[in-house]
Structure 1
Amino acid sequence: MPTQMHQWIRTSKRTPGIFIFGLVLAPCGLLLDLIATVAPNWRTLNTISAKPSDFYLEQGIWDMCQASGSSQNVLCNQPDVIYFQNRIIPIAQGLMVASLIVTLIGLGTAIPGVRCWRDHPNWVVAGIGGLIIFLSGVLTIIPIAWYTSIFQNITSTTTSSDIRIGYCIVLGYIGGIFEVLGGIVMVVGMCRCCNGKNRGETHVMETTAHFRHTKPPPRVRRVEVPSISRTRSTASSIPYSQDSIAEEVDFPRAKTTSYGGRKPAYDADL
């Protein structure tokens, strides 16, 4: 039939691997971005003048904390007007919050499109969700990369000769890359490529041709085996004949003696 030329069928009812990959990376990236947003450790100031050698200051985009290597006490909410007036700080705050919101929107769009409980997912809806997740990763990487490129030149009330990158930058990079990769993989499902392998589909004509050229299994020939009835043989391995067994064998009786003219009460048979 001519309509079969454009028909595709799925070889499995399981969730496509590209959606599993995207739906695993996106929540992981969301969690890492959340930590990078709220944690006050985008950079660390060490070797501060008029302070002990183990004293250091942690600066984030929302808060600032001071701590010491010899003490476990951490004091946050440290005032630093000059630091928070840098142009990168409000931009990073807005982009990181926007990235978290966009990631949630992307997951909310992609999950109904995947529809693990249906035979055929909605590829367009799931692909749009992947595109939104991809944009959320880009929104994360932009402020992280910008802050990394100028972290030595960001002004602050506290001056230090030893400025280091904090762990929030590392977590932000990893989270953004996770979201970008997960979004790209899910977008790939919007278009059928690699002969339908990205969707786990195969062409109807290929399936028909496969069964057409497949040789039928060989027929099993049934062979009837004649039953052999055995008759019992009258031959016996015992040397004596069967008639001699049926005969009554009489043994000679022992002689008896009467006492006092009385007959014995019984005869003893040997």
Structure 2
Amino acid sequence: MRTPGIFIFGMVLGPCGWILELVCTVAPAWRTINNISGESIDLVLQQGLWDICKTYSSSQNILCGQVDTQYFSAQIITIARGLMLSSLILNLIGIGVASAGVRCWTEYPQWTVAGVGGVLIFISGVLTIIPVSWYTNIMTTIPAASTEVRVGYCLVLGFIGGILEVLGGLVMSIGLCQRCGRSKPADRTRINVVRSAHNPMPPPARRDTVPSVSSFSSASSAPYYSKHTETDFYRARKPDSRPVNAYQTRPYDSDL
């Protein structure tokens, strides 16, 4: 049996969203800071959840491992770390559960198992969108060395990955609704057995063998003739050759 289209759609969007979410979590580019006072003009500071890097537009050198206790002590950083890690783990679990239900080598897919996997993927996408949206909303209020704060590419990847996971999980969770309106093959077999018990089929009609003419002729030396002719149809009746008077006359006394 072919894999349903909703499962294919979810199994494609789920892993794609997980990859984007992983890059968003690890990469140090949630926001960028330019024009830092007392530093070079071409210095760009990239801040993420786990690391801070310095880049120079003139030399393209990247120096990571920068320390900023004021930035990492913000409440949003701690919450975003926990939510992003939880989303990554939950998405992996959802993909594994959905893969167990979407088995194309069986005759019927497991709608319930695949639907549960879709729900887990959907929740994973929601856990990704929450910290990304929150960070984008309060990005300018987090302590920074300059007032020129810009959105990093990690936030864009986080939004896209979360939306992909939400769409994929939502479509796969429709399998739970499909399962409610379906009956298992075993249930259909049981229904057929019950119907056949209440309405038994009639016995096959008995077929009698009619003896043929050849059998009688072989059993007896006397010839056998049927009532009909050998051509098995009635011959046409010959018309009467006697003349038919067109009118009838009255009898006379001499005739009597």
Q: TM exceeds 0.5?
A: yes
Aligned twin of 1:61:
49
Aligned twin of 2:239:
none
Alignment of 1:238-257 (within 5 A): none
Is residue 2:157 matched to residue 1:171?
Answer: yes
Which SS does the other structure have where 2:109 is aligned?
Answer: coil
Aligned twin of 1:94:
82
Aligned twin of 1:119:
107
Aligned-partner Cα distance in 2 for 1:73–1:192:
55
Instruction: Tell me the CA shift for residue 161 of structure 1.
Output: 2.3
Aligned-partner Cα distance in 2 for 1:192–1:139:
26
Aligned twin of 1:84:
72
Letter in 2 for 1:131: V
Is residue 2:30 matched to residue 1:39?
Answer: no
The C-alpha deviation readout for 1:214-258, integer Å capped at 9, x for no partner, is xxxxxxxxxxxxxxxxxxxxxxxxxxxxxxxxxxxxxxxxxxxxx
Which SS does the other structure have where 2:84 is aligned?
Answer: helix
Aligned-partner Cα distance in 2 for 1:76–1:182:
35
Which SS does the other structure have where 2:35 is aligned?
Answer: strand
Aligned twin of 1:187:
173
Instruction: Tell me the CA shift for residue 15 of structure 1.
Output: 0.6
The C-alpha deviation readout for 1:52-85, integer Å capped at 9, x for no partner, is 2111100001000001100121000000000000
Is residue 2:40 matched to residue 1:52?
Answer: yes
Which SS does the other structure have where 2:61 is aligned?
Answer: strand
Matched residue count: 181
Q: Identify the match of residue 72 of structure 1 among 60, 69, 73.
A: 60
Alignment of 1:118-267 (within 5 A): 118-156=106-144, 159-192=145-178
Instruction: Tell me the CA shift for residue 149 of structure 1.
Output: 0.2
Instruction: Tell me the CA shift for residue 140 of structure 1.
Output: 0.4
TM-score normalised by L of structure 2: 0.69
Q: Identify the match of residue 28 of structure 1 among 16, 30, 33.
A: 16
CA contact under 8 A between 2:111 and 2:178: conserved in structure 1?
A: no
Which has a greater percent of helix? 2
TM-score normalised by L of structure 1: 0.66
> 4+ runs of 1 displaced by more than 3 Å?
none
Aligned-partner Cα distance in 2 for 1:110–1:93:
26
Which SS does the other structure have where 2:32 is aligned?
Answer: strand
Aligned-partner Cα distance in 1 for 2:138–2:95:
32
Aligned-partner Cα distance in 1 for 2:178–2:130:
31
The C-alpha deviation readout for 1:88-134, integer Å capped at 9, x for no partner, is 00100010011000000001100011111111101000000000000
Aligned-partner Cα distance in 1 for 2:147–2:110:
56
- Structure 1: which 5+ runs fail to align? 1-12, 197-270
Identical positions, percent? 59
Aligned-partner Cα distance in 2 for 1:116–1:37:
33
